[in-house]
Amino acid sequence: MSALTCRGVSRSFGALRAVDAVDLTVQPGARHALIGPNGAGKTTLFRVLTGRMRADAGTVHLGDRDVTGLSEVRRCRLGMSQTLQHASLFASMTAAETVALAVRRHGPEGGGDRIVPWPVRRPAVDARTDELLGQVGLGDRAGSSVPSLSHGERKQLEVALALACAPSVLLLDEPAAGMSPAESARLLALLAGLPGEVTVLFVEHDLDLVFDLADHVTVLHLGRVLLSGTPDEVRASDAVREAYLGTARREELFTS
């Protein structure tokens, strides 16, 4: 059984078909990249998968459950978590307070349906918060305010928030956007070190990060799947290089 599947998913905006009968299968434990040139339909497909946007046609399954008609919140409660390209964090909070709020919301003490009142301090919440911050490399930044964190550290914090609900499937929308090479390297190490039971589907423009992390790559072009295969298969594809650059010269697209 796959971790995440969509079949025949389409979404149009007027006369523009942004996603056109897309089939996608993400295997359990995969590090699956979704790439393509600008306008390929990646963001629209991502939004349909997460429930942020409804599909005009097709189905989405999380494991063996049809979640096509479910909201973003319901999908999260069933094990789908996400980070967004442009996320909103509370500037008035520290890193630890931000993660603790998510832990209270999604952890057993919050019950998934309510937020434990903020003044309440519980050892289990504190322990889980410390665990998540350590997992994303922010253990020494727990007391730092969100505005004082670097761009890369805020991305790490967003991953901690996504992990707070113990997802089975984690979707990342351009996690390396705006990062320096050093920050991208830290992000790569973070994502590579995630538990194997967490399936990862990520949209990313940084092809070096894609081919360092992904074990499977799906390429979208003009709303359709151009190719889905191993990184080596995608690297070797003339069609992929032409879709990106209008050229079949490998060295112009892949730097490593």
**pLDDT tens, position by position, 34-72:** 999 989 999 999 999 999 999 999 999 999 999 999 999
For the chain, domain boundaries: 1-79+168-256, 86-166
- C-beta of residue 155 within 8 angstroms of C-beta of residue 183: yes
Q: How far apart are CA 124 and CA 130, in angstroms?
A: 10
Q: In sequence order, what are the residues at sequence separation of 6 or more whose Cβ sits closer than 8 angstroms to the Cβ of residue 110? A: 103, 104, 116
Overall average pLDDT of the 86-99 stretch: 85
The mean pLDDT value for 77-81 works out to 92
For helices 95-106 and 151-163, give the axis angle rounded to 10 degrees: 20
In this structure, of 1-5, 154-158, 222-226, the range with the lowest mean pLDDT score is 154-158
pLDDT class of 252 with cuts at 50, 70, 90:
low
* H helix intervals, the chain: 42-50, 72-77, 95-106, 123-135, 151-163, 181-192, 207-213, 231-235, 238-245
Let me know: does 218 contact 35? Beta carbons within 8 Å. Answer: yes
pLDDT at 255 over 60: no
Structure tokens at 8: 């025949």
pTM for this structure? Answer: 0.86
**pLDDT tens-place string over residues 105-114:** 776 544 444 4
pLDDT digits (tens, 9 = 90+) for 170-194: 999 988 888 888 888 988 998 999 9
Architecture of domain 1-79+168-256: 3-Layer(aba) Sandwich (3.40)
> What does the block give as tokens for 93?
């909070």
Token code pair at residue 215: 């074990």
